[in-house]
Amino acid sequence: MARLRSQSTDIHKCATGVLAVFDRQEPVAVNGRRTWYFDDPGLQYRGDAQANAYLALNHSEEYAGGMHDAETACIRGNLDTILAHMGPKVSVIDLGCGEGRKSRDIANAAQEGGRSVILYAVDINERFLEIALRNGTESGVRTVTVLEDLTDLEAVLRMVDGDGDRFFNVGANFSLFGPEILRKVHGVMSGSDAIYVSVQLNLRDIGEIVRQYSNPTNRDFAFGALAGLGIELDDVVFSPRFNPVESSVEAVFTILNVPKPLSERGVRAGDDIVVGASFKPSLEVFASAVEKYFSGDFFVDQSTGFAGFVGRKRFNIGDKEVLRNAEAGSFKKHP
């Protein structure tokens, strides 16, 4: 059974007034360049065109080979550890499911292990929900779709009516939402619920990671966020880079011809606009952010540079130090 709710998230309301993002900020200097941040993840995944561009990226060799295959291997190689954190009845809640294949693997293994499982696929894009529903259902797992902003966990949980424990799959969406999503999940968890979170570490040559993001398929996907601002592809130059202060790979467009609505907001020819930022922490920073809220098991694949964690809520969080670039406040420069 699938269920969609009407689309009324803050992200969609703000899509109409999206230019206001530029009103709320001054450009900052990054690597000596005037830089604007237009990188709310919700802006990158609106509508069918952006969903299709993401699907093309997801199935491209450079990107899938670097990110998705590494995470899939990380999950499949550690299923016993992951399942050890689940009770006999579980709602697997995939926050920002995309195609939902990773949660499908987890839910399917849990069901094969004799658990009663419902998979809740949560996303702001209906196209992804259709695919996640098909993927979950084909594998024999009861799958429910939830059209909702994942950062509004209270709203998400109103749609989750399975009994038993909840297993929150944040997965690699941690790199888009940062430590703040961990704080939010922690806030709604009970003691028997569990969380899975993962990240591509900066263990590997960062130039190689940036190259993963530099292909034309990623340019076309990233450009989707700018298309709604009246900018043409010929007006920009795509040059992903590493921001060492944020420890993020940033999808950056240098703008050559500035349309009037943007020039009125202070954007100049030659400025950089970041449309997506993906946090690539060290293992130490990732572990510090996670351990502030949860205790459990880490698994790290040194060969792919991918790390995962599965665990339960920590009740005494006041005494935990968090390393500097894992602090929610310094994670990103969202206006």
The residue ranges that bind ligand SAM (CB under 6 A) are: 11, 41-42, 45, 96-99, 102, 122-125, 128, 149-151, 171-173
User: How far is it, in rounded angstroms, from Cα 309 to Cα 305?
Assistant: 14
Q: Least separation, in Å, of the C-beta of 41 and ligand SAM?
A: 4
Q: Smallest distance, Å, CB 67 to ligand SAM?
A: 8
Nearer to ligand SAM, 107 or 258 (CB): 107
Nearer to ligand SAM, 102 or 280 (CB): 102
Closest separation in Å from C-beta 68 to ligand SAM: 6
**Unique residue bearing structure tokens 């009740």:** 315
Tell me which DSSP letter residue 257 carries.
Answer: S
- The nearest distance, CB 70 to ligand SAM, in angstroms, is 11
Q: Name the residue nearer to ligand SAM (CB basis): 150 or 290.
A: 150
CB closer to ligand SAM, 74 vs 267: 74
Sign of CA dihedral 176, 258, 229, 221: negative
Distance of CA 227 to the CA centre of its chain: 21
Tell me whether residue 7 or residue 239 sits nearer to ligand SAM (CB atom). 7
Please check whether residue 114 is in contact with residue 86, taking contact to mean a CB–CB distance below 8 angstroms.
Answer: no
Dihedral sign from CA coordinates of 224, 226, 232, 235: negative
What are the two backbone dihedrals, phi and then psi, of residue 148, each rounded to the nearest 5 degrees?
Answer: -160, 155
Please tell me the distance from the alpha carbon of residue 60 to that of residue 216, in angstroms, as a whole number. 10
Kindly tell me which of 255 and 309 has the beta carbon lying closer to ligand SAM. 309
Nearer Cβ to ligand SAM, position 54 or 271?
54
**Beta carbon nearer to ligand SAM, 7 or 116:** 7
The DSSP-derived string for 290-327 is HHHHEEEEEEEETTTTEEEEEEEE-S--TT----GGGS
Q: What sign does the dihedral 212-213-214-219 (CA atoms) show?
A: positive
Find the residue with minimal CB distance to ligand SAM.
Answer: 98
Residues 168 and 195 sit within 8 Å (Cβ to Cβ): yes
CB of 129 to ligand SAM, least distance (A): 9
Least spacing, CB of residue 18 vs ligand SAM, in Å: 14
* Nearest CB to ligand SAM, comparing residues 38 and 255: 38
* Alpha carbon distances (Å) from 55 to 48, 120, 131, 226: 10, 20, 10, 18
Least separation, in Å, of the C-beta of 324 and ligand SAM? Answer: 25
Q: Return d(Cα 137, Cα 117) in angstroms, integer.
A: 12
Question: Shortest Cβ distance from residue 286 to ligand SAM (Å)?
Answer: 16
Q: Which residues pair with 317 in a beta bridge?
A: none
Lookup: tokens for 52: 């299709």
* Rounded CA Rg of the chain: 19
Task: Read off the tokens for 223.
Answer: 């450009």
Least distance (Å) from ligand SAM to the CB of residue 172? Answer: 5
